Structure 1
Amino acid sequence: MTEVTFYLSNKAGDGVRQALAWRIADKAQKQGRLVYIHCRDADHARQLDDQFWQAPATGFLPHAIQQEGQAPVILSHGGDPGDHHDVLINLTDQVPDFASRFQRVAEMISGAENERQAGRERFRFYRERGFPVTTHELG
């Protein structure tokens, strides 16, 4: 069964969820896991791609946009994650239809109230369907 983890930060503002996603993706790929990051749309995927190439200055996260190449970390926005089924990082406000195909799902929640509310709805969705759900406070 898919394990779902909510990563919570009290920080609010642009880029908090993306920074959390970088941390989780970096840790997962260093463990040899394949990561699929689900973005809102093509612009969001491109923005995330640009951010991942720039920061942090102390590390590199091997990644690619799904249609443009192969890498341990794939960024996409479509309805089909292809052959990916290991780790899903969801950066949208809805539960993707394909979430249950993955071994693990990571939900990023910042301190922004609108993101917290959307996160509560996703938490309820997973819990009501019997997914094992845990939370981690990241500060």
Structure 2
Amino acid sequence: MTEVTFYLSNKAGDGVRQALAWRIADKALKQGRLVYIHCQNEAHARELDDAFWHTPKTGFLPHAVHQDSPAPVILGHGSDPGDHHDVLINLTDQVPDFASRFQRVAEMISGEENERQAGRQRFRFYRERGFPVTTHELG
């Protein structure tokens, strides 16, 4: 069954969820896992791609925007994550229809009130359907 983890940060502002996603993707990659980062739309995926190429200055996360790429981290959007089924990092406000295809789902929640509200709805969604859900407070 898919394991769901909510990563919570009290930090608010632009880039918090993006920084959390980079951190979790980097950790998963170091564990030998493949990662699909689900973005809101193509523009969001391209924005995240650009940010991942520029930050952090001390690390590199091999990634691509195209689902057909052999990169271990894929930035995508829409209703089909391709052949990915290992780790899903969700950066949207909805639970993707394909979430249960993955072994693990990571939900990024910043200190922004609207993100917290949307996160609570996703948390209830997973719990009501019997997914094992855990939370981690991050700095």
For normalisation by structure 1, the TM-score amounts to: 0.98
Do 2:38 and 2:91's aligned partners in 1 also have CA atoms closer than 8 Å?
yes
Q: Could you tell which deviates more after superposition, 75-84 or 108-117?
A: 75-84
Partner in structure 2 of residue 129 of structure 1? 129
The aligned runs of 1:1-139 (5 Å cut-off) are 1-67=1-67, 69-139=69-139
Q: Which runs of 5+ in 2 are unaligned?
A: none
Q: Identity over aligned residues, as a percent? A: 86
Q: Could you give the per-residue CA deviations for residues 6-57 of structure 1, whole angstroms, max 9, x where no partner exists?
A: 0000000000000000000000011110000000000000000000000000
- Cα shift at 1:69: 2.6
Q: 1:60 aligns to what SS in structure 2? A: coil
Q: 1:66 aligns to what SS in structure 2? A: coil
Equivalent residue letter for 2:55: A
CA RMSD, Structure 1 to Structure 2 (Å)? 0.8
Q: 2:123 aligns to what SS in structure 1? A: helix
Q: Which runs of 5+ in 1 are unaligned?
A: none
Q: Could you give the per-residue CA deviations for residues 52-83 of structure 1, whole angstroms, max 9, x where no partner exists?
A: 00000000000001246320000001210111
Equivalent-residue separation in structure 1 for 2:20 and 2:36 (angstroms)? 14
**Size of the alignment, in residue pairs?**
139
For normalisation by structure 2, the TM-score amounts to: 0.98
